[in-house]
Homo-oligomer: A and B are copies of this chain.
C-alpha cells in the first residue's frame, strides 16, 4: 500500500519496495511483503547458483532454472509488484573467459524472462568500475530490442573522501576521478547513448558525499533509491531513523518521483510490545506480520507523510514539469482566449505593473498639478485589457488624470477590449487602436508607454524590436515600463530534456529553445547575466544584435558533471525599484506567467572538476527574423575523454521569426 496520501502527489514516489533474496515460492515471497505494507519486491528471478556452463546438456540448459512458470503470478501481479534483479555474480568485464561467457548468457536470459513477464523494470548490478565496456556493450545491445521495460543500473552513492566505505567498490580505481561512481554511470550511459530505457537505482549508504556532489544526480534519470538498513541510526526509543542529511535527501527523492527500496538485514531490535497502534492493528490483521524491515518502512512512511502537501501553484505546474513546449510567438501568431485567460490570472504580475505605473505617474505629475495635467499613457500589446485596468487603477490610487490608448494587433482580442471598455464605462478615457504598434500613426505622443512583451528569456518574444517601433510616439522625456530587462543563463544537467529533444532524431530540434518547467534538473552554478535592453533608447547607432562570452565555475566539490544545455531566465526593471522576474535568486514570488527557457546542446559536454565552462552566445538580427546562436568553447580538451563524446563547440541556432506588418 502507498506510503501515505500527499495532497496533489500522484507520483511513483508514493510506492516503496523491498529487496529480497531468491525465493522458489514467489507467491509467498510477494504476499508476505505486500501484507507488510511494501508495494513491490526487487528479487532475483533465477537461482543464484545457476551457471550456464555447468548445465549438462543443451536440452537442460534451455529449461531455465526458475522458481516456477510464469503462471505462478497473474500478469498484473508480475508487472505491478515485481522488479527483476539480475544475478549479482555476473561480471562481463572479467579476465576469466568462462565467467564472461556465463555472465553474458545469464544477463540475456534473465532480461528475456523479465520481458516475457512484462515487468516494468529490471535492476542491473553496479558496474565494477569505470572500465565496463563489455557490460555496457551487452546492455546497449539488449536495449535495442527491448519492449518497454526499464533497466535500472545500480550505482553506489559513495563518499569518495571516505576510503573505508569505498573498499567494496574500488577494485579498479586508479585516479581520483575514477573514485567517483558518477563517472562509472556517465561512462556506461554514454556507451549506451543516453538510451531512454536506461536509468539509475542509487545505493544510499551510511555516509553521503557533499551537497553539490549529491545535487548533480537530480538531473539524471534516477528511478529508485536503495536504502540500506545499515545507513539507519537509532533513536532514543530504539527505533531506526536517518541522519538530517539523509532525511533531506529522502525529501529530494520524494519530490522527484524516485521510489524507495529498502535493503539489508534487520539491524534494530524493535520489541513487538513497543509497536505503535496502527502497527499492532495491521499485524493483528494478518496475524503473521513479522517482517523484519517493517519498522524501517514505517519510518520511511513517516518521512513521506510529514512532507507539506503540494501548493496550489505546484499542483498547477506539476503537469508541465520537464515538459518541453515551443515558446509562444505572439508577434507571429495571435494568442487564443484560453492563453489570455491564463495570463490574466497572474495577479502578482499586474500588481507589480500597477505599482510601477503609480510611481511613474507620481514622478511625472506633482501632487499640486494632479487635477490639471492629463498623462497620456499607451498600452502597446493591450490584449484583452489587463494592463489598461492596472494603469487606470494606478491613476485612481494616485489621483492622477489619465488618457489611455490601447494598441493591439489581434482582432479577436479587440472584440473583448471593446466590450470591456463599454462594460466599465471607460469610453471617454480609453481609445482602442486595432493595429500593429510598429505601423501605427499615433495622433499624439505618450508620456508613458506600458508593455508586457517579455518572454522567458526577456527579449525572445521580440520586445526590443516592438518597442523600437513604438518609441516613435513616446515623448523625448517619456517613460517606458518596463525600462529595462536582462536575460540570465546557467548550465544544467537535464538528461530527460536532452533525451526528449534527441528523440526527434533531427538537428532542427537541437536548434530550438524550449519553454519548460524545470524540475528534474541539476543547476550546476549560479546564473549569469547575458543581454540587457533599455527603453527608450535614443542613441543613434543602436542595434539589437548582441554577443557575450560567459565563464562558469562549477564548485569543485561537485565532481564531474554532464552539461546537457542551459537554463535561461529574465529579470525586468519595470520602473525604478519595481522589478519582475524569474531568475532563481531574485524571482518574483507566486508569479506563474513564465517558465524557464532551455537551450539544448546537440552533444552534451562533460566538465571535469575544476575546469571552467565557457559559453558564447549571440543574438542575431536579419531583416525578417531574429535568432540566437550559442556554443560551448571550453573545456576544449576534456582530461576525461570518453569515446562517444563528439568534439565540442557545435553551434546551435534558434529563430524567432518576425512578421511582415500588414494592417488587417
- Closest CB of chain B to A262's CB: distance in Å? 28
**A70 B416 Cβ-Cβ under 8 A:** yes
Complex alpha-carbon distance, A433 and B69, angstroms: 16
Q: Tell me whether A531 is interfacial, beta carbon within 8 Å.
A: no
Contacts of A477 in B (CB 8 A): none
**Known: A75-B341, A664-B62. Contact between A334 and B112, CB under 8 A?**
yes
Complex alpha-carbon distance, A139 and B117, angstroms: 50
Contacts of A411 in B (CB 8 A): 62-64, 109, 112
Contacts of A116 in B (CB 8 A): 334, 336-337, 410, 412-413
**B337 A64 Cβ-Cβ under 8 A:** no
Complex alpha-carbon distance, A59 and B664, angstroms: 9
**A434 B118 Cβ-Cβ under 8 A:** no
Contacts of A62 in B (CB 8 A): 411, 414, 434-435, 664
Q: Tell me whether A236 is interfacial, beta carbon within 8 Å.
A: no
Complex alpha-carbon distance, A246 and B367, angstroms: 77
Q: Tell me whether A247 is interfacial, beta carbon within 8 Å.
A: no
Q: Tell me whether A78 is interfacial, beta carbon within 8 Å.
A: yes
**Known: A59-B434, A434-B59, A434-B63. Contact between A415 and B70, CB under 8 A?**
yes
**A412 B118 Cβ-Cβ under 8 A:** no
Complex alpha-carbon distance, A117 and B418, angstroms: 17
Closest to A340 in B: B70
Which chain A residues numbered 90 to 135 have a C-beta less than 8 Å away from chain B? 109, 112-113, 115-118
Which chain A residues numbered 643 to 664 have a C-beta less than 8 Å away from chain B? 663-664
Which chain A residues numbered 417 to 465 have a C-beta less than 8 Å away from chain B? 417-420, 432, 434-435
Complex alpha-carbon distance, A115 and B417, angstroms: 18
Most buried by B among A62, A413, A418: A62
**B337 A419 Cβ-Cβ under 8 A:** no
Complex alpha-carbon distance, A64 and B115, angstroms: 60
- Closest CB of chain B to A68's CB: distance in Å? 6
- Closest CB of chain B to A60's CB: distance in Å? 9
Most buried by B among A58, A63, A116, A432: A116
Which chain A residues numbered 134 to 185 have a C-beta less than 8 Å away from chain B? 147
**A337 B418 Cβ-Cβ under 8 A:** no
Complex alpha-carbon distance, A632 and B118, angstroms: 41
Complex alpha-carbon distance, A663 and B69, angstroms: 22
Contacts of A410 in B (CB 8 A): 116
**B412 A113 Cβ-Cβ under 8 A:** yes
Q: Tell me whether A533 is interfacial, beta carbon within 8 Å.
A: no
**B115 A336 Cβ-Cβ under 8 A:** yes
The number of chain A residues touching the other chain, given as a range, is 35 or more
Q: Tell me whether A71 is interfacial, beta carbon within 8 Å.
A: yes
Closest to A113 in B: B412
Which chain A residues numbered 354 to 375 have a C-beta less than 8 Å away from chain B? none
Complex alpha-carbon distance, A384 and B117, angstroms: 13
Return the CB mask of A387-419 against B: 1 if under 8 Å, else 0: 000000000000000000000001111111111
Closest to A418 in B: B63
Contacts of A63 in B (CB 8 A): 411, 414-415, 418, 432, 434
Contacts of A414 in B (CB 8 A): 62-64
**A69 B336 Cβ-Cβ under 8 A:** no
Complex alpha-carbon distance, A434 and B62, angstroms: 7
Q: Tell me whether A22 is interfacial, beta carbon within 8 Å.
A: no
Q: Tell me whether A66 is interfacial, beta carbon within 8 Å.
A: yes
Q: Tell me whether A49 is interfacial, beta carbon within 8 Å.
A: no
Closest to A433 in B: B59
**Known: A62-B411, A414-B63. Contact between A70 and B337, CB under 8 A?**
yes
Q: Tell me whether A269 is interfacial, beta carbon within 8 Å.
A: no
Q: Tell me whether A313 is interfacial, beta carbon within 8 Å.
A: no
**B112 A69 Cβ-Cβ under 8 A:** no
Taking a contact as CB atoms closer than 8 A, the residue among B59, B66, B418, B432 that contacts A415 in the complex is B66
Q: Tell me whether A338 is interfacial, beta carbon within 8 Å.
A: yes
Given contacts A69-B384, A116-B336, A116-B337, 19 further A-B contacts (CB under 8 A): A58-B664, A62-B434, A62-B435, A63-B414, A63-B415, A63-B434, A64-B414, A64-B415, A69-B418, A70-B384, A70-B416, A71-B384, A75-B338, A78-B337, A112-B411, A112-B412, A115-B336, A118-B336, A118-B338
Could you list which residues of chain A lie within 8 angstroms of chain B, going by C-beta atoms?
A: 58-59, 61-64, 66, 68-71, 75, 78, 109, 112-113, 115-118, 147, 334, 336-338, 341, 384, 410-420, 432, 434-435, 663-664
Instruction: Pull 18 A–B residue pairs with CB atoms less than 8 Å apart, ordered by A.
Output: A62-B434, A63-B414, A63-B415, A63-B418, A64-B411, A64-B412, A66-B415, A68-B419, A69-B420, A70-B412, A70-B415, A71-B420, A75-B337, A75-B338, A113-B412, A115-B336, A116-B337, A118-B337
